[in-house]
Chain A
Amino acid sequence: MAQTAELFRPTSIDRLAEMLRTASDDGRSVGIRGAGSKETWGGVGAPVDAVLSTRGLDRIVEHAAGDLVITVEAGVALADVQRTVAAAGQWLALDPPEPGATVGGVVATAASGPRRLRYGTPRDLLIGITVVLADGTVAKSGGKVVKNVAGYDLGKLFTGSFGTLGVIAECTFRLHPRQPALRAVSTPTHDPAERFAEVLATGGEPAAAEWDGTTLTTVFESIEAAADEQAERAILAIGGQLSDAVPPGFGARPWDATSVGLKVTHRLGATSDAIAAVRSATPNARLRVAAGSGVVLAGVGADDLGALDSLRKSIAALDGQVVVASAPEEAKRDVDVWGPVRGLPVMQRIKEQFDPDGRMCPGRFVVQP
Chain B
Amino acid sequence: MFLKLLPAGLAYGILQVALRFKNDRELARHLKARDPHAISDLYDRYGRLTYSVICRIVHNAAAAEDLVQETFLRVWTRVQSFDQERGALGPWILTIARHRAIDHLRSIEGRMPAGGSEIDRLEHAALFTDFEISALSIDRARRIRAAFEKLNPNQRMVIELAYFEGLSQTEMAGRMKQPLGNVKSWVRSALKALRDELTQAAIA
Pair from one complex:
no
